[in-house]
Amino acid sequence: MEKLGLFLRLLAGALLRGPGRLAAADRYLRDWNQHAVDALARFPYQDPLTGETIEGEALRAHAAMLLKAFPDLRFELDGPLTAGESSVAARYVLHATHNGPLPGRIGFSEIAATGRRIALPGALFIEFSGARIQRVINRFDQVALGEALGFQALILPQQMGDYGFGGFYRLNRGNSAPPEAIGTTWITVKGGEAPFEHVATITKNALEHLSEQKGFITGIVGARLPDADGEGYGFTVSAWESLADMDQILPDEAHRDVVQQFMKENVAYATHSRVYQLVRTKPVMIACEACGKKNNAHNKTGRCSRCEAELESAPPYW
């Protein structure tokens, strides 16, 4: 009898609090749809992009970033709000158009707008203390979000045995000449996200400067994000038409500044560079679209040696 009485008291309390909490949850969703950043910033919040609970100015900045990236962002309920003992749950579909920049990584301060429309399912869990919202947890699939925006979304470990995994980008301005000199740099960074992104930004800016120099063919930058101990690493590979072209950057002030930071100042934990010169070569081979025969992409006739069909231009293969 005593247990039944306790259950009835709990049920009565839930019934009395439920309507007020449902109304508060409904107001919270309206604040998102009205893009009321100050109202949203009153309640601690977490989603897959924040990684942890944020509040105050950090939350205000996060909400403003989302609304800048998705100016028409709107939550549409996908079913009724559901009240529990101390929370309200809401399934939704997020409708938005990616018309503004998103924060970038590995040296890119932002990712440009794609103009893509998204309809992303998710769920809000609004936790209460009494009648007041205590925290909001927003759950959605980051991979689904990335794919909806046309981004690459690969789920890989940072390390698997002797294999390390990360990401890379490539910069080519259209030069398809065969390289005769290769420069490489390896960089190890300690201290977590902030120093890693600092080094990544310096590296990206340096690569863009190199790409404007005579004889530059291609630059490739790879990186593994900081691990649980705060250690990350990256590498650069630059391909040049000749060693002389590569040597021209040595007295360049911008290049010397980067070398000073990486080699002598406390910007990265460890740095190692090498230059390699051509020893032997084979031509770039491309398949004839008409008959499939492989041909030297740089042959003077520009035609297939078997069927005389016109060959496509040599691809930028570095």
| pLDDT tens by residue, 190-222 | 999 999 999 999 999 999 999 999 999 999 999
The answer to whether 216 touches 240, Cβ cutoff 8 Å, is yes
Match domain 165-277 to its CATH number in 3.30.70.100, 3.30.390.50, 3.30.499.10, 3.40.350.10: 3.30.70.100
Query: Going by DSSP bridges, is the β-strand pair 163-164/45-46 parallel, antiparallel, or unpaired?
Result: unpaired
Dig out the tokens for 237 from the structure. 């590979």
CA dihedral 179, 250, 247, 184 (to 10 degrees): -40
Tell me, rounded to whole angstroms, the distance of Cα 75 from its chain centroid: 24
What average pLDDT does this structure show over 224-238? 96
Contacts of 257 (CB under 8 A, 6+ apart): none
pLDDT value of position 13: 41
pLDDT value of position 264: 78
Contacts of 126 (CB under 8 A, 6+ apart): 21, 24, 25, 28, 87, 88, 89, 90, 133, 135, 136
Rounded to whole angstroms, how far apart are CA atoms 236 and 184?
A: 5
Residues 261-292: pLDDT tens digits? 888 788 899 999 999 999 998 888 999 999 99
pLDDT value of position 18: 63
Closest CA relative to residue 88, chosen from 29, 10, 155: 29
Report the share of the chain in percent with pLDDT over 70. 94
Regarding the domain delimited by 2-148, which CATH topology (the fold level of the hierarchy) does it fall under?
A: Nuclear Transport Factor 2; Chain: A, (3.10.450)
How far from 103 is each of 77, 107, 156, 223, CA to CA, in Å? 27, 11, 21, 17
Would the pLDDT of 4 be above 60?
no
Dig out the tokens for 223 from the structure. 């990186």
CA dihedral 241, 245, 246, 251 (to 10 degrees): -170
Mean pLDDT of the chain: 91
Q: Name the phi and psi angles at 54, rounded to 5.
A: -125, 160
Residues 86-131: pLDDT tens digits? 999 999 999 999 999 999 999 999 999 999 999 999 999 999 998 8
Dig out the tokens for 85 from the structure. 């003992």
95 beta partners = 74, 119
What average pLDDT does this structure show over 137-146? 95
Would the pLDDT of 3 be above 50?
no
Q: Name the phi and psi angles at 142, rounded to 5.
A: -65, -35
The answer to whether 203 touches 107, Cβ cutoff 8 Å, is yes
Neighbouring CB atoms inside 10 A of 272's CB total 12
Stretch(es) of the chain classified as CATH 3.10.450.50: 2-148
The answer to whether 245 touches 213, Cβ cutoff 8 Å, is yes
What average pLDDT does this structure show over 224-248? 96
10 beta partners = none
Would the pLDDT of 8 be above 50?
no
pLDDT value of position 166: 95
Give the predicted TM-score (pTM) of the model. 0.81
How wide is the angle at C-alpha 116 spanned by C-alphas 90 and 155, nearest 5°? 70
How far from 192 is each of 7, 52, 233, 311, CA to CA, in Å? 50, 16, 11, 49
Contacts of 211 (CB under 8 A, 6+ apart): 171, 173, 219
Stretch(es) of the chain classified as CATH 3.30.70.100: 165-277
Residues 31-87: pLDDT tens digits? 999 999 999 999 999 999 998 999 999 999 999 999 999 999 999 999 999 998 899
